[in-house]
Chain A
Amino acid sequence: MVRIEDVVPREDEKERASGCYIMSLVAVMIGLPMPIINLLATGIFYFMSRKGTFFVRWNSIQALVSQVPLFVMNNILFWWTIRILFCFTDLSSTYIAYFITVNLYNIYDFIETVRSAVNTRKGLIHRWYLYSTITDKICKR
C-alpha cells in the first residue's frame, strides 16, 4: 500500500492540495454564523478534486473530514443561539460553557488548517490526529 508520505507531489499538485485547506478557511470566515457553508464549500472543493491525483485527493478528503465534527458542533451552537434569541430558551451557564468549548475547538481547527495549508504548499504532509487515520482508510491510490 502506498502511503501519502511516499508521494512526491508536483508543483501544481501542491497548489491544488493547499487550496483545499484555504477553501475551508475562506468559508469559515465568510459563513461563520452559518456552519453549513464551510462544510458545503469543502465538499464542493472535494468533488472538484476527486478525479485529481492521490496527493490532491488525500488532502481534500482530510480537509473535508476535519469539517464534519466542526459542522456538527457549530450546528448545535447555531440552533441553540437561535433558540435563545427567539426566547424559546433562556441563556444559561451550560450554553456559555458549550460556546467556549466549541470556540476553542474552532480556534484549534483554524490553526491546524493554516498549518496544513502552509505545509501542503511546501509539499509536506500535515497529519491531523484522527482525521488523517480516517483519510488513510477512505483514500486509496
Chain B
Amino acid sequence: MKKILQEFIISAALFFCIFFVTLQVDWMKLFRLRPTIVGDKLSEWVWKVAESSLWKVNNHDVCVPIDSLVYEMCKANDISMADIHVVINQDNEVNAFATVGNHLIINTALIKKMENESQLCAVIAHEMAHLRLGHIQSAVRQQAVITVFLVLVTGNGNSEMLANMTSKIISNSITRAKENEADEQGARYMYAMHLDPMEMANTLETFESYGILSYLMDHADSKKRAERIRKMHFQKNGPYRRILSQETWDKLKKACQ
C-alpha cells in the first residue's frame, strides 16, 4: 500500500509539474486568440444564415430617417453608432429583432404599422437595449451550437430551414425577464433623447390591440409589460421633441407601403 501511495504521489506530482510548466505560457497571446473566439465565430455563422433570409431595403426615403432616429438615440445615450448595424428588411411580418454582431433588423411592416416616430423609437430602443445588455450574445451563441448539432445529427443543412431556425432562435432565446429588462432600459433610452418614455407602454398596448400575435408570441403579456413601464418614475423633461419632420415621416411610411 505504501508503494502504491508513493508511486501515486510521484505520478500526480509529475502531472501537475507538466501542467504548471504549460501554465507559464500565455497561449492566448502566442496563438493570437481571443477569449470569445468560439462565440464570435458562431455569431458570424448565425448572422450569415440570418442575412441570407433578409430582403434588404436600400431606399433612401427609408434608410435615412431610420438612421437619423438611431443616430439620435445613440448620441443621447452615449452609444457608438458604429457599433449598431441597422438593416431594414422587406417583410410583411410586423417585427423587429436584434441579432448577433449588433445587428438590428426592422421589418417594413412594423414601420408601416407605427403611428408616430416615438412608437418606432420605442421598438428600436427595446431592441437596442437587448444588444447593449448582452442578451443576444449569450443566448444566441448557445442556441447556435444546438442548431449546429441538430444539422449534424439530422444531416439537413438546407439554408431555408437554417434561416427559419435562426429567426426562431432569436426570439426563443430571450427570456421574459430579459424582455422586461429591455423594456425598462428602452424607456430610459427614450427619456434620454427627450421622447416620451410612456410611448414605450403605448406601443406595447398598440401591439396587443393590433393582435400582432406573431410578434408577441415569445414575449410576456404586453399589457403587464406596459403596466411595468407606467410604474417607472421619470422626472419631467418635456416638452417632447420631434426628430423627423412630418414630411419625412410621411415619406417613410409611403416608402414602406
Contact = CB atoms under 8 A, between A and B. Distances in A.
A84 B35 CA distance: 10
Contact of A91 (B11, B23, B38, B42): B38
A91 B145 contact: no
Interface of A is mostly: helix
A87 B4 CA distance: 40
A97 interface: yes
Q: How large is the interface on B (under 10, 10 to 19, 20 to 34, 35 or more residues)?
A: 20 to 34
Contacts of A104: 18
A86 B42 CA distance: 10
Interface of B is mostly: helix
B25 A87 contact: no
Interface string B205-223: 0000000000000000000
B19 A97 contact: yes
Contacts, number: 64
A123 B59 CA distance: 82
Nearest to A105: B15
Contact of B4 (A84, A100, A130): A130
Contact of B38 (A84, A97, A130): A84
B30 to A, nearest CB: 9
Nearest to A130: B7
Interface residues of A, number: 22
A85 B38 contact: yes
Contact of B19 (A85, A91, A101): A101
Given A130-B7, A130-B11, A133-B4, A86 B142 contact: yes
Closest 6 CB pairs of A and B: A90-B35, A96-B27, A97-B22, A130-B7, A87-B141, A93-B27
Interface of A: 84-88, 90-94, 96-98, 100-101, 104-105, 129-130, 133-134, 137
18 contacts: A84-B38, A86-B142, A87-B38, A87-B42, A90-B35, A91-B28, A91-B34, A92-B35, A93-B23, A93-B25, A96-B31, A97-B22, A97-B23, A97-B27, A130-B10, A133-B3, A134-B4, A137-B4
